[in-house]
Chain A
């Protein structure tokens, strides 16, 4: 065969005469993107993605269809080519309606593949489920218990009846694997010899330690407290997250070779400079450990405690004397943890003082109810005006009575004092659970933001100091939930890895396709009630710190997992369209307009076609005609309204289908799907 010589992207390559530019490039390791080309069928040339620039030709050439000629000088990634591909992809995406991933995953700050692991749990593959979870969360048994689960908030199943119990399912699978003979072990990459120091052994620090250790780096975690776990250990009471379970998960991380050094306070036991000098990169993940003050008179009285300090002391077995009557100020999860801990410490009357009403409480509804079951008394529409005391000791709380006014920026109706109306609540102690802040002492030279906490770049997590990165509660917006810190730490780990390899690659939120779903679209789904988590009786559980949830049994868990609507596309991980879309950093919104159809599902025996996801590449049509020799499919309609349907729009044609699935195999998107048999 005749050989020809050409230049592609500045590299001299050789190919067979008569072969296309696309093939010769591929033979030489140069990938030219395409969506409508497949070796099993004839060239079609519709998608316009494979265009390349050829010296001397004023027009872009379709590499799939153009035969290479001797001496051609081709550029497959010139600015003009990239711009053309971008527009082609943006146009395609502007008419592509589907969910790449489910709303659960999109709403998870760590981007956990909830649908993926719920599916594995439904199938009984807990190990596979944990493998998927640990891709983002190295502490699934712990997080499954404590996460306020934004995933469930977004879950579409609630349009049918109730969301999937995603968090508890996570704990279920994680417990099973953790307690099995074959606990999960990640695949480790070769050692790099690079050293990373992580300051703070909370959820963020541990996540980064896990990820960076897998990447082959030598990781040491420094923590000021006697044990690792951070807020998971010292902020979350035992009855919600048993320390033994947390420890087991921490031990798994340590088993990867991560060195864990406790009782090390930076700036006191070792200087920040020494830590920096001892490592190639440092991640600051120190969290937010200082309770915020209420700025009301009497806060210095004996018996006034910070919520976080109170919980930490209890975890350290140094529970303070809180007396019989306790007021907890605040309506968040820390307030719930504090009031329920106070109940368990034997307080007879525990009040939660909150300036709005139950509807506005940021704490989880389940916890609000459970606390009430345990005897907690809510004092809604009241706000501490002054803490009263005698002999330097708290005796009562003076409460300003409030009412709800106009909604504020957050949409919640803001509380307004009712002038002159006060209430006196006799108490022995007051716990302030109205927020927490980072203590950045010891981190010499690190730049702070206006709030006085660490300023970190939102895409690289880097600080003003070279090689120092920062994530979690100690940075930017301040304290948030554990999964948010985990998400940042996970992303930062990849940035740190890139930094250690010499080139900082910022985190870029992947582009995904999303669609809007209304309850009407799910009206045909059979109602199945949400699996109920068994909990210990309130009368019993209020007396001890033993875990209150008892865990799903096998049957409940599998059934619960099977409720998942599988919103995300089955083809997301293999979808060429989304892969190219991300490679070319597209912004299809600028072309947003009509989409060619509503939610259409059309069944071709065992094959389901989703017109909304179809990009009309014609591969299925050609595979059916040329490869399968059937010719069942054809294009129907004209212009924008063209769709792929049985040839000549004749439903009877479907009967001929032999279910060879060749159409499904060549589909570059998730438009075709084999129905579960």
Chain B
């Protein structure tokens, strides 16, 4: 038997390392092999311990605590799992993975990311061997073209086209760059791939480098991903030791150096030209395009940049053929896409599905619906650059074109689910606050325009909105879309535009009626006690952190609105439904 503890950053944060240590202390190694794997993708069940027999998953134990270690060891020893039955994954939860089609994530949560042999044992490095020994670069590009693979970072540009453009450039040297500066709030697909399957990324990049003719590859990872950097560093070393990286790879004469560059935490560095500036040691600020990186990128040499997920698909495509990949998906969007499903969802985590499924499939099928059975309100796709999609568009097909038609975007895969208690104005404000802070400051529209939008949104949520603010916001949105220099600025208005498009009534309620329909904007809330319902239990008065509630025992209480900070404690503790919020 083999016991595997899921140790992605998320698992570790949930206590996976402690569970691992407890299992070790309980002597599990005497009865079975103890190992680790990366992110399994079921965030809500972490820490997860998998028990394998002869390579087959026997039991998946969820929300495991160090105290469970003894019982687990005992169960493994005896083969009687009755004592840990309550830890075993339910059928319902197990369907989260069963409904997925995993290509980019195919090894995640299965193999040991620290062990190159685990990867090799799962068909790893077979694609690059095939490519180097049997294919020309042009054939590789053709295979990618057949697959229909498009950039998974957000823009969805055909990968073969970029590779071909870089290939066609005469100037040497050429560079291959992996964009692992995953910065969207709520997105963690790329982190999971690097932490769980770093060799897959290395292999994908090897293939890309061969295709464009690059001799140096750089992975630009945000410094906030220390575990990813650690595992990728180790993986690069292992690959070098095994001859998959370095000079004369597999005796074919092809050579590739690979290194990691840790980004310093600027969101805009996920924009490819700003990323290049940062790589060169400059402040991360976008360059004007054209020239495109394929013509003049890193050190003004031909450079190709793809994101992690794009590369993660490449070995599979080369091994299984572009046609197999293209078989999945829709007319315009091929293959699968990974999403980080978060927010007010029952089952949040990493979801990889073929293009063409609907949002409903993901949110209600795989995700199991809304937490606490509240009403679904909207889903924010693509982070701060994306937009929200409301409930009546739940049957929208996941496809670049169909999503763009709603005003949102496919994006890199952030999928934040919101329920009826989410204020859409506040949500738009959150993202604007993010983009305004992350603006590099170069162009006027982004630097000042997003700040002004944020100021307007802030005054609306604080009850100081003015008639005409919606129109002013819209005007700014279009001006910024038109005028901003890079993708960050051009897409920054999307959350505002889509919320105005689908939830204009909420904006109007804030501005004209000075109310927040979702009851989230505290400045607009008014807490009162219904005298007829209040029995004078004093619970609310005891809980009130500022002493705003007074009244005698067994007599109706009252809230002093001058003192009230609208924290909502009274509302939560009242067992008689006597506290009203307006």
- A residues lining the B interface (CB < 8 Å): 43-48, 51, 59-60, 62, 65, 67, 83-84, 87-88, 91-92, 94-95, 590-591, 593-594, 615-616, 618, 634-635, 637-642
Nearest chain-B residue to A644 (Cβ)?
B441
B550 interface contact, C-beta 8 A:
no
Q: Beta-carbon contacts of B170-183 to A below 8 Å, as 1s and 0s?
A: 00000000000000
B288 interface contact, C-beta 8 A:
yes
Nearest chain-A residue to B485 (Cβ)?
A45
B436 contacts which chain A residues (CB < 8 A)?
639-640
B557 interface contact, C-beta 8 A:
no
Q: Are B479 and A635 in contact (CB under 8 A)?
A: no
Q: Are B283 and A634 in contact (CB under 8 A)?
A: yes
B307 interface contact, C-beta 8 A:
no
In the bound complex, CA of A16 to CA of B455 (Å): 46
Q: List which B439-493 residues lie within 8 A (CB) of chain A.
A: 439-445, 447-452, 455, 472, 475-476, 479, 482-485
23 contacts between A and B (CB under 8 A): A43-B288, A45-B485, A46-B443, A48-B445, A48-B483, A59-B482, A60-B482, A62-B288, A84-B482, A91-B448, A91-B452, A92-B448, A94-B448, A616-B442, A616-B447, A634-B283, A638-B437, A638-B440, A639-B440, A639-B441, A640-B436, A640-B447, A642-B439
In the bound complex, CA of A45 to CA of B489 (Å): 14
Cβ of B461 to closest chain A Cβ, rounded Å: 15
- B residues lining the A interface (CB < 8 Å): 266, 283, 285, 288, 290, 436-445, 447-452, 455, 472, 475-476, 479, 482-485
A60 contacts which chain B residues (CB < 8 A)?
482-483
Cβ of A414 to closest chain B Cβ, rounded Å: 36
B283 contacts which chain A residues (CB < 8 A)?
634-635
In the bound complex, CA of A59 to CA of B290 (Å): 14
In the bound complex, CA of A60 to CA of B483 (Å): 8
In the bound complex, CA of A95 to CA of B451 (Å): 10
Q: Are A51 and B455 in contact (CB under 8 A)?
A: no
Partner of B445, one of A88, A594, A635, A639: A88
Q: Are A640 and B448 in contact (CB under 8 A)?
A: yes
A88 contacts which chain B residues (CB < 8 A)?
444-445, 479, 483
Q: Are A640 and B483 in contact (CB under 8 A)?
A: no
Q: Are B444 and A640 in contact (CB under 8 A)?
A: no
In the bound complex, CA of A274 to CA of B429 (Å): 69
In the bound complex, CA of A616 to CA of B436 (Å): 16
In the bound complex, CA of A87 to CA of B288 (Å): 21
A94 contacts which chain B residues (CB < 8 A)?
448, 452
In the bound complex, CA of A642 to CA of B439 (Å): 9
In the bound complex, CA of A438 to CA of B472 (Å): 47
Q: A48-B484, A591-B452, A641-B441 are in contact. List 6 more A-B contacts (CB 8 A).
A: A44-B288, A45-B443, A46-B443, A87-B475, A87-B483, A615-B444
In the bound complex, CA of A83 to CA of B480 (Å): 12
- Interface pairs A-B: 9 shortest CB-CB: A642-B441, A87-B479, A640-B451, A91-B448, A593-B455, A639-B439, A48-B483, A45-B288, A65-B288
In the bound complex, CA of A51 to CA of B449 (Å): 17
Secondary structure dominating the interface of B: helix
Q: Are A639 and B437 in contact (CB under 8 A)?
A: yes
Cβ of B271 to closest chain A Cβ, rounded Å: 14
Nearest chain-B residue to A64 (Cβ)?
B288
In the bound complex, CA of A129 to CA of B485 (Å): 46
In the bound complex, CA of A45 to CA of B445 (Å): 12
Q: Are B451 and A639 in contact (CB under 8 A)?
A: yes
A92 contacts which chain B residues (CB < 8 A)?
444, 448
Cβ of A661 to closest chain B Cβ, rounded Å: 24
A637 contacts which chain B residues (CB < 8 A)?
441
Cβ of B186 to closest chain A Cβ, rounded Å: 20
In the bound complex, CA of A65 to CA of B288 (Å): 7
In the bound complex, CA of A388 to CA of B438 (Å): 82
In this complex, the member of A62, A91, A616, A642 whose beta carbon has the largest number of chain B beta carbons within 10 angstroms is A91
Partner of B444, one of A48, A635, A639, A641: A48
Nearest chain-B residue to A91 (Cβ)?
B448
Nearest chain-A residue to B448 (Cβ)?
A91
Q: Are A638 and B288 in contact (CB under 8 A)?
A: no
In the bound complex, CA of A251 to CA of B444 (Å): 54
In the bound complex, CA of A260 to CA of B290 (Å): 67
Q: Are B452 and A616 in contact (CB under 8 A)?
A: no
B445 contacts which chain A residues (CB < 8 A)?
48, 87-88, 91
Cβ of B259 to closest chain A Cβ, rounded Å: 24
Q: Given A88-B445, A635-B441, A640-B439, check contact A46 B451 (CB 8 Å).
A: no
Q: Are B444 and A47 in contact (CB under 8 A)?
A: yes
Cβ of A33 to closest chain B Cβ, rounded Å: 13
Q: Given A639-B436, A642-B441, check contact A84 B479 (CB 8 Å).
A: yes
Cβ of A98 to closest chain B Cβ, rounded Å: 16
A48 contacts which chain B residues (CB < 8 A)?
443-445, 483-485
B448 contacts which chain A residues (CB < 8 A)?
91-92, 94-95, 591, 640
In the bound complex, CA of A140 to CA of B36 (Å): 91
In the bound complex, CA of A48 to CA of B489 (Å): 12
Nearest chain-B residue to A637 (Cβ)?
B441
Cβ of B524 to closest chain A Cβ, rounded Å: 21
Nearest chain-A residue to B458 (Cβ)?
A593
Cβ of A86 to closest chain B Cβ, rounded Å: 9
Nearest chain-A residue to B489 (Cβ)?
A48
In the bound complex, CA of A640 to CA of B283 (Å): 16
Q: Are A618 and B472 in contact (CB under 8 A)?
A: no
Cβ of B254 to closest chain A Cβ, rounded Å: 36
Nearest chain-A residue to B442 (Cβ)?
A46
In the bound complex, CA of A641 to CA of B438 (Å): 11
B288 contacts which chain A residues (CB < 8 A)?
43-45, 62, 65
Cβ of A41 to closest chain B Cβ, rounded Å: 14
Q: Are A84 and B441 in contact (CB under 8 A)?
A: no
In the bound complex, CA of A44 to CA of B438 (Å): 19
Q: Are A594 and B455 in contact (CB under 8 A)?
A: yes
In the bound complex, CA of A59 to CA of B484 (Å): 11
Q: Given A60-B482, A62-B288, A84-B482, check contact A618 B438 (CB 8 Å).
A: no
In the bound complex, CA of A92 to CA of B443 (Å): 10
Q: Are A46 and B485 in contact (CB under 8 A)?
A: yes
In the bound complex, CA of A158 to CA of B442 (Å): 40
In the bound complex, CA of A83 to CA of B445 (Å): 13
Nearest chain-B residue to A648 (Cβ)?
B283
In this complex, the member of B439, B441, B485 whose beta carbon has the largest number of chain A beta carbons within 10 angstroms is B441
In this complex, the member of B436, B439, B443, B476 whose beta carbon has the largest number of chain A beta carbons within 10 angstroms is B443
In the bound complex, CA of A46 to CA of B483 (Å): 9
A641 contacts which chain B residues (CB < 8 A)?
441
B444 contacts which chain A residues (CB < 8 A)?
46-48, 88, 91-92, 615-616
In the bound complex, CA of A92 to CA of B439 (Å): 15
Nearest chain-A residue to B283 (Cβ)?
A635
B475 contacts which chain A residues (CB < 8 A)?
87
